[in-house]
């Protein structure tokens, strides 16, 4: 019987959970917005972990600046975060962390707005044709 999840997927899930807690509790940089770890992808040899995040800007920051600042802070703290992860996850090799902005959430919002707009246009056309 085949296993449901590969080892790399289990490691990625554990890194995602632990990293979310570490970012929230350990990093106190004021440039860091509200960061959510949305997905972690670990290479087969456990050499690298690509961490995908979403950022909610704090205060009067604009979205692009918040993303840039947060990625800078996280990539700068990657060594510290990797060290802290290694204390909690017992692996022979702890993957190097690479942080990326997850554009899939923004793409999903855009697609949803397009679908909603098309639905509203269709509804309006149906209403005008049934009246006439």
Going by CATH, does the domain composed of 7-101 fall within 1.10.580.10? Answer: no
Q: What is the pLDDT of residue 75?
A: 92
Distance CA 78, CA 22 (A): 11
Q: What is the pLDDT of residue 4?
A: 64
Segment 101-123, tens digit of pLDDT: 988 878 888 898 899 998 888 88
- Considering the chain, what is the average pLDDT of its residues? 87
Q: What is the pLDDT of residue 101?
A: 93
Domain residue ranges in the chain? 7-101, 104-132
Residue 17 has pLDDT above 70, yes or no: yes
What is the average pLDDT across 18-45? Answer: 89
Q: How far is CA 62 from CA 3, 35, 99, 109, 116, in A?
A: 44, 14, 20, 18, 25
Q: What is the pLDDT of residue 1?
A: 43
Segment 36-75, tens digit of pLDDT: 999 999 999 989 999 999 988 877 778 888 889 999 999 9
Q: What is the pLDDT of residue 5?
A: 67
pLDDT confidence bin for 2, thresholds 50/70/90: low
Distance CA 75, CA 98 (A): 7
Distance CA 55, CA 46 (A): 26
């Amino acid at each position: 019987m085949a296993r449901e999840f590969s080892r790399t997927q289990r490691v990625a899930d554990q890194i995602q959970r632990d990293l979310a807690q570490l970012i929230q509790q350990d990093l106190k940089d004021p440039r860091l917005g509200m960061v959510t770890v949305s997905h972690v992808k670990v290479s087969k040899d456990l050499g690298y972990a690509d961490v995908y995040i979403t950022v909610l800007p704090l205060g009067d920051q604009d979205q692009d600046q918040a993303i840039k600042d947060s990625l800078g802070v996280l990539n700068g703290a990657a060594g510290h975060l990797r060290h802290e992860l290694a204390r909690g996850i017992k692996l022979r090799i702890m993957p190097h962390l690479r942080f990326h902005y997850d554009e899939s959430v923004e793409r999903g919002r855009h697609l949803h707005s397009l679908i909603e707009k098309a639905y509203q246009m269709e509804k309006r056309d149906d209403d005008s044709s049934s009246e006439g």
